[in-house]
Amino acid sequence: MPYDRSNIFAKILRGEIPCVKIYEDDKTLAFMDVMPQAEGHTLVLPKEEAEDIFSLSPASAAAVIQTAQKVAKAVKAATGAPGVMLVQLNGKAAGQSVFHIHMHVIPRHHGIDLEFHERNMVPAETLEPLAAKIRAAL
C-alpha cells in the first residue's frame, strides 16, 4: 500500500495540525500522545514517509530508536516511573491505527494498569505541564 500523506502524523510533521512537542531534530519528532495509555505517554516519529518498519530506511530506523532512548530517559525522570515500555506496531492486525511508523514511549508504574488507547482524548493544554518537565529532563 502506498504511503498516505493525509494521515494525522503526516499532517503534524508538516505543521498542519498542532502537537505538544517534546523533542525534534532533523530526522525525528517526539510529542505527547493525546490519547495516553499512561501519564507521560509520548510518541516518536521519523520524518521519513514510511507506513511501517518494513518501509522505513535503516537510517531512519536508527534515528527513531536513538530518539526513543533519549525521550524514554526523560519521560522516566519526569514521571518518576520505575519502568518505561517501548511499543512499535506494524499493520492493522498488530493494532496500528495511524499508518505512519511511530514508537510509543509509555511510563510504567507497579500496580497501575494501562488505559485503553484511542478511547479518551485529553486536551493538549493538560499535557503541557508534564511535557515541560519531560523537555527539561532532556
User: How is residue 77 written as a grid cell?
Assistant: 525522570
CA separation for the pair 93, 91 (Å, rounded): 5
Nearest of 27, 15, 14, 22 to residue 104 by alpha carbon: 22
User: How is residue 122 written as a grid cell?
Assistant: 485529553
Cβ count near 43 (within 10 Å): 24
User: Is 41 tagged catalytic?
Assistant: no
Nearest of 28, 20, 37, 27 to residue 134 by alpha carbon: 20
Q: Where are the beta strands (DSSP E) in 10-52?
A: 21-24, 28-32, 42-46
CA separation for the pair 112, 15 (Å, rounded): 34
Catalytic residue, from 41, 100, 102, 104: name it.
102
Catalytic residues: 102
